[in-house]
Amino acid sequence: MINFDSLADLTSVTTQFSGLTFGNTTVLTAGFSLNEFEFPPLSGMNVVFDDGGRMGIVFDTLQASVGGYFTYGTALTFTAYTAGGSVVGTDTSDFLSNLALSGDPGTLPNEFLGITSSDGIQRITIEGDFFGGSFTLDNLTFEAAAAPVPEPSIPLLLGSGLAHRHGRREPSHVRERGEQYDDYGDLPSSRSRFVRCHVDKRLRLCDSHCRVQDYRPEHCPHRPAWRAL
């Protein structure tokens, strides 16, 4: 939040606040250049006004919401834009005038105008009278847009897949899980824990790491521990 109280009366506001650039914006101080009876500050002693035309504010980074408190002598239009220049929203004043002493009946000074957008706000404009001198702004508020979450890169996805495959790599002599063999030509060495069932011709895995000679189930001392691949 910026209340402009750190600046001297009649200072032209441009880049004094980090991350923001103002246009057609000048400070007024109560008791000096500001008519505080018609344009009372919301807080402190300072406000800014549209000096010479439409006020503009550009943000270095995208904002999720921007707003402020306005006292005006003519109807206002608050417009927010994306980084590409597209309008993301507008807000208009509720009355033609909300001056403290001479404004429309039932009005109060310091009306809030603002925009919230998920598209991100890069700049705003506030327009009253074409030649300026028509409103004051106090307590400019803004909230930065959340940084986008990056999606996993292709190399990272490939790396994850390779690591997964490496962790589950099976012996080269095993083809597919549950694939049948018609002969004994591809059988592993006698020290393998993979054995051939003489009934259904499938390779089976002996969980107890037994050593068999001819890969017949009746020769495996751990027959109950077998499980089909």
- pLDDT, tens digit, for every residue of 11-65? 999 999 999 999 999 999 999 999 999 999 999 999 999 999 999 999 999 999 9
Average pLDDT estimate for 83-92 = 97
Distance of CA 127 to the CA centre of its chain: 29
Average pLDDT estimate for 113-129 = 97
- pLDDT-derived band of residue 150, with 50, 70 and 90 as boundaries? confident
Q: Are 128 and 103 in contact (CB under 8 A)?
A: no
- pLDDT-derived band of residue 147, with 50, 70 and 90 as boundaries? confident
- pLDDT, tens digit, for every residue of 171-196? 444 444 444 434 444 444 444 455 55
Report the range of poorest mean pLDDT among 1-5, 29-33, 131-135, 181-185: 181-185
Q: What percent of the chain has pLDDT over 90?
A: 63
Q: Specify the pLDDT at position 188.
A: 45
The DSSP result for 173-210, as a single string, is T--STT-B-SSSTT---TT-SEEE-TTT-BEEEETT--
Q: Specify the pLDDT at position 227.
A: 45
- Which residue would you say has higher pLDDT here, 178 or 109? 109
Decide if pLDDT at 221 tops 90. no
What is residue 224's DSSP assignment?
G
Name the residue with tokens 């997964």: 164
Give me the torsion for CA of 61, 62, 64, 70, rounded to 10°: 70
Average pLDDT estimate for 146-158 = 68
Q: Specify the pLDDT at position 189.
A: 44
**Domains of the chain (ranges, CATH numbers):** 20-144 (2.60.120.1350), 179-229 (no CATH)
> Phi first, then psi: what are they for 217, rounded to 5°?
-60, -30
- pLDDT-derived band of residue 7, with 50, 70 and 90 as boundaries? very high
What's the mean pLDDT when you consider all of the chain? 81
- pLDDT-derived band of residue 226, with 50, 70 and 90 as boundaries? very low
Name the residue with tokens 């001479």: 102
